[in-house]
Amino acid sequence: MRALLLVAAVLVSAVAVPAQAATPTTYAVRGLDQPVRMVVDKWGVPHIYALNSDDLFLAQGFNAARDRLFQMDLWRKRGLGQLAESFGPAWVAQDHAARMLLYRGDMEREWASYGPQAKQTITEFVNGINAYVDWVGQNPQALPEEFRKLGHKPARWAPEDVVRIRSHGLVRNLYSEIMRAMTTCLAGLDADRVRANLEPKWTTKVPDGLDACAVTENAGDVINTYRLGTQAVSFKGQKLELNAAEQQEGSNNWVIGAKKSETGRPVLANDPHRVLPAPSGRYIQHLSAPGLDVIGAGEPILPGVSIGHNGTAAFGLTIFSIDQEDLYVEQLDPANHGRYRFKDTWEPVRTVKEKIAVKGEAAREVDLNFTRHGVVLHTDQARHQSYALRSVWFEPGTSPYLGSLKYMGVKNLAQFREVMRTWGGPPENQVYADTKGDIAWLPGGMAPKRPAFDGLLPVPGDGRYEWEGYYDGEQLPRSVNPAKGFLATANEENLPEDYPRDRKLGYEWADPFRSQRIHEVLGSKEKLSIQDSERLQNDQLSVVARRVTAALKDVTSTDPVAAKALQSLRGWNHVLDAKSGPAALYEVWRVKHLGAAVIAATVPALAQLGQAPDPEVVLDVIEHPERWLGQDAKAKRDKLVVDTLAAAWRDTEKRLGADPAAWQWGTLHQTLFQHPLSGHLPNVDVGPFPRGGSADTPDAASFGPDFKQTGGASFRMVLDVGNWDASRAINTPGQSGDPASKHYRDLASTWHKGEYFPLLYSRAAVERNATKVILLLPRR
């Protein structure tokens, strides 16, 4: 013990620290081999210094639980389908759905997919979580208030929990397949071009043998099961309710080469977009041990870092929309629904029986049914059909983001490229930069080969529409050290013109407007500074708004209300600033009036689906009405614009008052970081804040029908590659998951103002900015 204390003393006194951080908080942690020093800086970022990698990842798990225990416990319970055990019978259906989506494949292949040390790393990480759970059990005063409110305790983890849960991954093609089938049933397949613009340009067809109207009749049941299995948890009102909000996803990243950078070094920027809860879905941390020194953001429930740098190489990601899911319609034996048709034979449906523990009641036994294509989400008893989901989720190596364990320590482009060659999921645009000056765009993700179909509609499961393996990662597009000096992605369709179309990677991408603005800004200057990247991450100019108003330059109206609206938009700078009145008018017009009018003018039957038209289609109707509106197209377009603008002006008056000088976009569009126990515990929500931007601006701010922000960039970083202490980052609302902590909400105002803090990397800079030191000592 004296030897351990001596090592600890050396660790504590190795570097001078501010007086307020000089006295460490000490924990005795079972499983540690050597002491670990953790330094928390003034922005709440933990810097973890260990003497070996096992201790490092154990300490990471311990610290993540120390900061985010309730969030992590709820994630695990949701993902494993164990909510009812803690919260009662209202959650049985969600538990049942969640269990459908667990990984149930070969565990040896699964562990090996993430590298030779992955199982050991994850085991140590989980040991750290459990060590903190044990500590809380012995120190009940430290139990987070959420557990006391809900009347349950944190569970212990198994290493398999980390990899079996897949349903937080960003693979979301099933919904669009069903919507396309519903559109086909209601209005014909050609009508779907108004709902969803396919890129690259592609003409799909209804698979032989698919009854689109049968899919339509079963759509609600299939979608609801899928949503139950993938959605987050919230506790609303006086009883437990399910949160059925759609998950928001997207991101921006770019990398600037040394010759185009003012610093003479590469710059890498990334701002992944997700839902905006309290606490944040991202967690910034610094992991340092012999052989590894990596800093950046990950998810608190995973070991390692997914977005950041290791002192030599930097990396950042966005979603690359490979189609990784398909819905199969299985024909059941009318005399025995335990069998389904595949080619010329009947194959047995595989059934797994599980018991769902229920608080206050007896356990419920549920059946999980599987075909060769995947889990059965719903069965249409009358038609003798089942709907089975095939997804890369169920393949080894697709636990979301866990593949980053293999690239955290890379030292050159060749090593990083090899990691991305075997990346599983989610599908990503990775951008890369290193201190040698190399920059690259390297997409990764398992891409199914579909020789007989395109993946855009459900298909019969009779054997004619099968996947035939996956493309090797090197068969995805690549770009290294381009002549223009930068690379950028924003979830747009970014396949090169000469990329083989027969690979059919996917046809459903984010709208191109964020990407267009990012490329416009990055290409507009000969040299770009760190501050240029910060400003671009907070840029709220709408390219699509600029194009729409330019197309309306000749539109006139004798209606005084419409004339005022036209004048307002023409005098606008197209920036969706929170204080802008024209921005408020534009968004009310676009969201509440223009889209519905375009549907009515092109495919009225789609109104039954409650679907908005594709934003690129709306823009094309405005810019090129002759393609959509038939005879006298321009006159019809002008009338559509005038009528909807007048309605939007009146609508905005109702929402914001009669004086247009007082209108502000941020009055409608607001950000609230909402805790799962919002309404049940005081002071757990952060905000609301008036918010600028939209889904179309680099400063992405998706919103729902009530204009309240639902998704965006909680985490941003701009890395000065090689001068690492000059790098910048922000998380929000704070690093901690404890509402009583000063780091729970301290970053929200900084984020709201578009500002950053220094992402410190050198030991000396970290110690100078320490506000807390934590020492983990081995417990014998």
Per-residue pLDDT tens digits for 569-582: 999 999 999 999 99
**For residue 283, what pLDDT is reported?**
98
Nearest one of 190, 221, 467 to 323, comparing CA atoms: 467
| Nearest one of 497, 500, 443 to 473, comparing CA atoms | 443
Mean pLDDT over residues 46-51, rounded?
A: 98
pLDDT 10s digits, 460-501? 999 999 999 999 999 999 999 999 999 999 999 999 999 999
pLDDT on residue 11: 55
CA-based nearest residue to 374, from 246, 520, 589, 222: 222
Q: Which residues pair with 366 in a beta bridge?
A: 354
Helix/strand/coil for 312 = coil
What phi and psi, each to the nearest 5 degrees, are found at residue 704? -95, -170
Q: What is the pLDDT of residue 177?
A: 97
Helix (H, G, I), strand (E, B) or coil at 88: coil
Helix, strand and coil content of the chain, in percent to the nearest 5, comes to 35, 25, 40
Q: How far apart are CA 397 and CA 395, in angstroms?
A: 6
**Where residue 243 falls among pLDDT bands split at 50, 70, 90?**
very low
| pLDDT on residue 368 | 98
Q: Do residues 313 and 431 make contact, with C-beta atoms less than 8 angstroms apart? A: no
Q: Are 698 and 692 in contact (CB under 8 A)?
A: no
For residue 681 the two structure tokens come to 């515990």
What average pLDDT score do residues 763-767 get? 98
Tell whether the model's pLDDT for residue 9 goes beyond 60: no
**Count of H-run helices and E-run strands, the chain:** 23, 31
pLDDT at 559 over 50: yes
- CA nearest neighbour of 307 among 438, 403, 394, 230: 403
**Tokens (6 digits) for 562:** 């419409």
Rounded to an integer, what distance in angstroms lies between the CA atom of residue 217 and that of residue 185?
A: 10
**pLDDT bracket for residue 169 (50, 70, 90):** confident
pLDDT of residue 16: 59
Mean predicted confidence (pLDDT) in 57-71: 98
Q: How many CB atoms lie within 10 A of CB 451?
A: 10
**pLDDT tens digits along 197-219:** 999 999 999 999 999 999 999 99
User: Could you tell me if 247 and 231 are in contact, meaning their C-beta atoms sit under 8 angstroms apart?
Assistant: yes
Q: What is residue 20's predicted lDDT score, i.e. its pLDDT?
A: 61
* Residue 412 CB contacts under 8 Å (≥ 6 apart), including other chains: 312, 313, 434, 436, 438
| pLDDT > 70? residue 3 | no
pLDDT at 239 over 70: no
What average pLDDT does this structure show over 315-331? 97
Residue 2, pLDDT above cutoff 70: no
Average pLDDT over residues 415-434: 96
The whole-chain average pLDDT of the chain stands at 94
**End-to-end Cα distance, the chain:** 9
Compute the distance between CA of residue 371 and CA of residue 356 in angstroms, rounded to an integer: 22
Per-residue pLDDT of 586-620, as tens digits, reads: 999 999 999 999 999 999 988 888 888 999 999 99
Pairing of strands 757-758, 728-730: antiparallel
661 neighbors 668 (Cβ within 8 angstroms): no
Residue 247's pLDDT band, with cuts at 50, 70 and 90, is very low
pLDDT at 268 exceeding the cut of 50: yes
Question: Rounded distance, CA 495 to CA 509, Å?
Answer: 11
Q: Is the pLDDT of residue 241 over 70?
A: no
Comparing CA positions, the residue from 191, 171, 175 lying closest to residue 183 is 191
> How would residue 250 be classed by pLDDT, with cut points 50, 70 and 90?
confident
